[in-house]
Structure 1
Amino acid sequence: MAMNRLVGKTAIVTASTDGIGFAIAQRLAREGAKVIVSSRKLKNVEEAQQKLSQEGLLVTGLVCHVGKREDRQKLFTEAEKLGGLDILVSNAAVNPEVGAVLDCSESSWDKIFDINLKSSFMLAKEALPLLRKSKAGRIIFISSIAGFQPFELLGAYSVSKTSLLGLTKAAAQQLAPEGITVNSICPGVIQTNFSAALTENEAAKEASLSMIPLKRIGQPRDVSGAVAFLASDEGSYVTGENIVISGGMQSRL
């Protein structure tokens, strides 16, 4: 594994105190980046920062609710203190309601799209002044396999993740002339607290595995390596792509 691809780079990773976000922050830092981790809860931020710092990694932790402009701005202010911003990883997502898409309440729909789509849009938009100063600006959205193949019980969530695929394509076209790449990662079923309903109940786990040709539940590290590649110089010719990491699950719009 190349361990120094990101030396001299600064990265922001939202919702990065556990699960996929934490694994991404850890991997970027292990490859030499200065990483700003964030979450809505101070306790989680402190625990994640301590754990990563104990590895000798260059990590700063901030409380951030991505739906709040003032919290997002704190991330960029911190990045400026660290010398700028090269990598933005938008990972925060919510799913307050389980059920089919047309059964979703209006309030849950609004919350899902506010956090899963609008906050990613706003983070990218607000990061641009800093990313334009970087010689290797990277925007990476964390979407989902559900963006390609909707999960019946994650109806509105699935649609929000499909929208992220479109945002990736459109933003990549806009920013390509400036040398800033925009890609998304679309994880399948990954072992995290967020996906517990799909992995911890034995019947649900068997149902999940039946859809995965590799016959194993993914781990957060399976996602983090792809993010590190996209963030590095090795990924500089990849833009506008929605990269599926799902153990072979079907993924076609």
Structure 2
Amino acid sequence: MHNLVEVSPTDRKAGINTRGVALVTGGRRGIGRAVCLELAGRGFDIGFVDLAHDDKVDETLSLVAATGQRVAFFPLDISRTDQHSAVVERVTRDLGAISCLVNNAGIQVSIRGDLLDTTEAEFDRLVGVNLRGTFFLTREVARAMIAEARPEMVRSIITITSANAHLVSPEKGAYCVSKAGLSMAMQTFAVRLADEGIRVHEIRPGLIETDMTADVYERYSPSIESGAICPLKSWGQPSDIAGAIGTLATGGIPYSTGDIYNIGGGMHIPRL
């Protein structure tokens, strides 16, 4: 089951041309919700997936519908690769051709601790969602994009990895491994899909103020505010990531594929 919020053409914001459908994973809150709103504001109809329907899903549906674009929610655990094909088919049937995939869904370690205490179950859980699930959903959407060529549309696959795709945090080692692997996966997709006219981009956020970082907010805030971590001396916001994705999804940086965009207030700069 899913929820489709229809908006008649006369209710759409004047001057916004529909750019196709953006499929956003993990769209019920945080960065995912900000991405849904940003892309809707740029003329995309929005399909988003998350684990289950709850009040946060309803909030996202309502907020996106208010932009004048169509929006639908599709329950999906992206680690369930056997469900990917059916969801992509439903999105295409109910909303139209997918022109943009935003891989945002991801999970963090259950408990930050000694790398040497990492269990196989924890490693498999993180890789299953962050790497394996995202890889195969990307494959499924890429196949759908190729099957329904739309040369009039900018088509893109944009994946949110992490600063930990490069920066080492031993207390969450399995997470780092999953994100580093995902970074390489996106570069391989970029090479494979270049001739198909599909651009692939990677966003590496720094410290963004969301529910996922709530448990380290007090720990990192003094270092952020002093400039020891981020030269800009502030936490990033979901809208900072969403704005970058909006630029890429609308072709604002056309001579780019497989490139990595660090959005972290300078956190990614190596310093002595």
- Give the deviation of 1:51 after TM superposition: 2.7
Contact 2:37 2:63 (8 Å CA) reproduced:
no
Label 1:26 to 1:75 Cα distance change in 2 as closer, same or farther (>3 A).
farther
Label 1:191 to 1:177 Cα distance change in 2 as closer, same or farther (>3 A).
same
Contact 2:262 2:268 (8 Å CA) reproduced:
no
Say if 2:104 is the partner of 1:86: no
In structure 1, distance between residues paired with 2:229 and 2:174: 21
Label 1:74 to 1:22 Cα distance change in 2 as closer, same or farther (>3 A).
farther
Contact 1:36 1:62 (8 Å CA) reproduced:
yes
Label 1:217 to 1:90 Cα distance change in 2 as closer, same or farther (>3 A).
same
Q: How does the TM-score come out when normalised to structure 1?
A: 0.91
Contact 1:63 1:71 (8 Å CA) reproduced:
no
Corresponding residue for 1:12?
23
For structure 2, list consecutive stretches of 5 or more residues without a partner in the other structure: 1-13
Corresponding residue for 1:98?
112
Task: Please tell me the root mean square deviation across aligned C-alpha atoms, in Å.
Answer: 2.0
Corresponding residue for 1:222?
240
Say if 2:250 is the partner of 1:243: no
Q: How many residues align?
A: 248
Secondary structure of 1:195's aligned partner:
helix
- Give the deviation of 1:196 after TM superposition: 0.6
Letter in 1 for 2:254: S
Corresponding residue for 1:128?
142
Letter in 2 for 1:120: T
Label 1:74 to 1:49 Cα distance change in 2 as closer, same or farther (>3 A).
farther
Superposition map of 1:1-253 within 5 A: 7-43=18-54, 44-81=56-93, 82-95=95-108, 96-132=110-146, 133-135=149-151, 136-199=154-217, 201=218, 203-209=219-225, 210-251=228-269
Label 1:5 to 1:172 Cα distance change in 2 as closer, same or farther (>3 A).
farther
In structure 2, distance between residues paired with 1:5 and 1:160: 37
- Give the deviation of 1:53 after TM superposition: 1.7
Give deviations 1:189-246, integer Å, cap 9, x for gaps: 00100111222x2x43213443011000000010011111111132332101111100
After the TM superposition, which of the residue ranges 241-250 and 169-178 deviates more from structure 2? 169-178
Contact 2:224 2:234 (8 Å CA) reproduced:
no
Give deviations 1:115-164, integer Å, cap 9, x for gaps: 00011110111112221123232111110111111223322111211111
Contact 1:212 1:246 (8 Å CA) reproduced:
yes
Secondary structure of 1:249's aligned partner:
coil
- Give the deviation of 1:28 after TM superposition: 0.3
- Give the deviation of 1:98 after TM superposition: 1.6
- Give the deviation of 1:61 after TM superposition: 1.1
Letter in 2 for 1:117: L
- Give the deviation of 1:251 after TM superposition: 4.9
Secondary structure of 1:233's aligned partner:
coil
In structure 1, distance between residues paired with 2:84 and 2:96: 17
In structure 1, distance between residues paired with 2:39 and 2:73: 15
Secondary structure of 1:223's aligned partner:
helix
Contact 2:40 2:67 (8 Å CA) reproduced:
no
In structure 2, distance between residues paired with 1:208 and 1:111: 30
Letter in 2 for 1:204: Y
Q: Percent identity?
A: 29
In structure 2, distance between residues paired with 1:235 and 1:78: 30
In structure 2, distance between residues paired with 1:204 and 1:249: 12
Letter in 2 for 1:130: A
Label 1:15 to 1:59 Cα distance change in 2 as closer, same or farther (>3 A).
same
- Give the deviation of 1:33 after TM superposition: 0.1
